[in-house]
Every structure is written in C-alpha cells, then in structure tokens.
Amino acid sequence: FDVAVVFSEKANAPSGDIRLLFPEELIAVCAPSYLEGQENLSDDELVKERLLHIHEPNHLEDWNTFLSDAAVKAPPSTASNRYTAYTTYLHSALSGEGIALGWSFYIDDLIRANRLRLASNRRVRTERGFFCCISDRGLHKPAARDFANWLDKTVDLKPL
C-alpha cells in the first residue's frame, strides 16, 4: 500500500509517516426512550443496566477501558448482549435494547438528531484512533503525500 487508514494504537500502526485523523473517545449512548425522563447515569447505575458489547478482538475490553478509573466493573458480556458487527450493535442501541459504547466522532450526528442520547457524563479518550499511514514506498510518491495531506485537512474541518 501507499496510503492506508487504520484503527490502532500509534505504536501498532504500520511504519512510515503516521498521522492521527480521529482519536478514540468512548461515550456511553442509548436511545432516548431507554432512559426516558432520567438524567445521565452514575457509574454505579450504569453497570446495572443492559450494557451492549462488541465481541471483536479490538473491542473486547471497551467497557473495562471506559470504566477503568471507576470504583465499579462492567459485567461480562452474555450471548444476549454480544454483537460481532458494529452496525448491528449500533442499531440495537438505536432500537432501545441497551446502552452501547460509541465513538463521539462517529455518532455525534445521531446525538444531535436526538436518535441517541448520552447515558453517562463520562468520556474516555484512549490511545487508539484512526491513523493515516503513508508507507515507506508511498513517501516517495507525490500523489500519496498529496492524498494524505488532503485527507488530513478534510478531517480537520470536522469538529470532534
């Protein structure tokens, strides 16, 4: 490849010119009807709710990461709250089936449109994110550098 966009920690991204496009900021969200009439939940209240889990290697520990500095632990996933595809996972949250973790840059539009709401005031920025990587081979190609520069500028136009 000349240019790739990867979800990773910077240390695990392919070598070459690596640029952070979007940092990962985890937020807990649900359908407005799921917590209708309630304020955002405390950590103690949150872990008593139906937490939805993405069962994919990069995301198995997302709830534990989200609650890493809290006095509570997330309950483990079960067959009934485990999803292998993010679209199905997100659709379950939109349908009021529980509370999901999302990435603010990815679902802010759904929150603004009142299709999702914050379930907690907690926001957790991790070391992960989406990185634009120009390979060593791509560094020698003006078109690859131009594309990466364009992508970097385009992402900067989107508020986080």
3-state helix, strand, coil in the chain (%, to 5): 35, 30, 35
pLDDT at residue 56, as a whole number: 87
Q: What is the pLDDT of residue 157?
A: 55
| pLDDT for position 158 | 52
Structure tokens at 12: 């695990």
In the prediction, which pLDDT does 95 show? 97
pLDDT of residue 160: 43
For residue 123, CA distances in Å to 66, 68, 109, 118, 137 come to: 8, 12, 17, 10, 38
Give the model's pLDDT for residue 159.
Answer: 46
Q: Give the model's pLDDT for residue 53.
A: 95
pLDDT averaged per 10 residues in sequence order, the chain, 160 residues? 90 86 93 94 96 90 93 89 93 97 89 96 92 92 94 70
Residue 57: the pLDDT is: 85
Report pLDDT for 4. 93
